[in-house]
Structure 1
Amino acid sequence: MVNVLSATPGIKTIAAGGTYSARFDAFQGPNTVSQLQQLRADIALLSSSALVDTVAYHQEEQNVAAKRAMLASATRAYLLVDPNKFGRTALHVMADVTEFTGLIVSEAPPAQTAAAMKKAGNSIIVAEQAS
């Protein structure tokens, strides 16, 4: 995603360093979390490995720490969830969906998730998949 965003005019892309994980194509670890805590982002786009009811999960503890730090540092944060992740769980709780400004999905989320977002006044954006 960094490559796509950095090529977009008008968007300043910053990547926090740390230990690089090829598996997740992301930086993680204490250095990453520390750097993220020093930033203030206009918008954060965060993905999740699993979504059950209103809780987003991830299987990697270090990724969760970085994602929570970014969530706390952003003015607006959007959770990106592939429909294949609905109803699945993973080891670590990342956040409740209501902590996000919005949810970005390619198809409508489960009813309980949608109801929680609506009650919190947060948006659900159904994005078209690129062909």
Structure 2
Amino acid sequence: MTKADSKPEPARLDPLKPDPVKAGPKLEPLGVDARREAIVAAVRQRGFATIEALATTFGVTVQTIRRDLNELSGEGRLERYRGGGGLPSSVENADYASRRTQLSAEKCRIGERAAARIPDHCSVFVDIGTTPEAVANALVAHTGLSVVTNNLNVALTLSRETEFRVVVAGGTVRSGDGAVLGQQTCDTLAQFRVDYAVIGISGIDTDGTLLDFDFEEVRATQTILAHAKAVYLVADHTKFARRPMVKVGSLAQVHTFFTDREPPPELARLMREAGVVCEVA
């Protein structure tokens, strides 16, 4: 039995209720990516789906479904439980060490694409999060930047690798990820009006609401949004399936969205209507 298999099913499920995945018709064989997207959709609809039901629906072995669920869990798109998969938590994010290694190549591509849209000799906010950190890593080739951040990892990278002017917001340092948070942080950030803001989020709802887990972190991001001339949102595709509980803002506040896969049709439509540019790295 794997470590993932030992995790109990979420208590909210009623085992007497039929699993709608079982009742659905057997689908035509799908490619790996399409099948995993369909698994995510099925779990979002039900809240939980068993391995056996998914294997029957998609016409593959239970071993294949286990691999799919493990991959989707590693990407943060689903939570792996004993016997199946469920929705990821809406109240708790993965730890920083895990997030740093998840989709690192994709985040690097996103970071490079976003950094390429930031000119030399301008001012930039860089937010908390592993994808904004990837943007900071790609900014080291620039010249003449002034960077304001509440992320100690960003500050250390840029102060060590460049001659940029780096301003670190005051406040309380959160253990584990180097985030600086609190009222003093917001007060410091509000003193600036910068050319570009690079922000990250933990989830995007289908109506375009930007979401995160921590209220203090959200307050800092909202301050950044209110004091930048242009907002660059950087987030990988797993954020399309996550629904944290704290509202950051709306896609309509974003000028350009950088990601690694095409967004779902509904989000793509919302971005077109709001005039948000989407760049896929």
**Contact persistence 1:18–1:31 (CA under 8 A):** yes
Structure-1-length-normalised TM-score: 0.88
Distance 2:175 2:234 in 1: 20
**For the residues of structure 2 that align with 1:50 and 1:106, how far apart are their CA atoms?**
15
Pairwise CA RMSD: 1.7
Matched residue type, 2:190: Q
Deviation per CA, 1:22-47: give whole Å up to 9, x if none.
44432111111111111101000100
Partner residue of 1:21?
174
Residue 148 of structure 2 aligns to which amino acid in structure 1?
A: I
3-state secondary structure, aligned to 2:226: helix
List gaps (5 residues or longer) in structure 1.
none
How far did residue 67 of structure 1 move? 0.3
Do 1:40 and 1:75's aligned partners in 2 also have CA atoms closer than 8 Å? yes
Of residues 66, 85, 108 in structure 1, which corresponds to 2:239? Answer: 85
How far has the Cα of 1:14 moved from its partner?
2.1
SS at match of 2:216: helix
Identical aligned pairs, as a percentage?
A: 28
Q: Could you say which structure has the greater relative contact order, defined with CA pairs below 8 angstroms and 6 or more residues apart?
A: 1
Tell me which amino acid in the other structure corresponds to 1:28: L
8 Å Cα contact 1:68/1:94 also seen in 2: yes
Which structure would you say has the larger Rg?
A: 2
Contact 2:251 2:276 in 1 (8 A): no
Alignment of 1:1-131 (within 5 A): 1=133, 4=137, 5=139, 8-15=142-149, 16-53=169-206, 54-127=208-281
Q: Deviations over 1:39-94 (max 9, x none)?
A: 10100010001111111100000010000000000000011111111121101011
Larger mean CA deviation between 60-69 and 13-22 belongs to 13-22
Distance 1:63 1:7, change over 3 A: farther
SS of the counterpart of 2:223? helix
Partner SS for 2:257: strand
Q: Shift in Å at residue 7 of structure 1?
A: 6.2
Structure 2 residue ranges without an equivalent (≥5): 1-132, 150-168
Cα pair 1:6 1:13 within 8 Å, conserved: no
Q: Is the 8 A contact 1:44 1:78 kept in 2?
A: yes
Partner SS, residue 25 of structure 1: coil
Measure, in 2, the Cα distance between the counterparts of 1:36 and 1:74. Answer: 10
Specify which structure has the higher proportion of helix. 2
Shift of the 3–80 alpha-carbon distance from structure 1 to 2, 3 Å rule, reads closer
Describe the SS at the equivalent of 2:241. Answer: coil
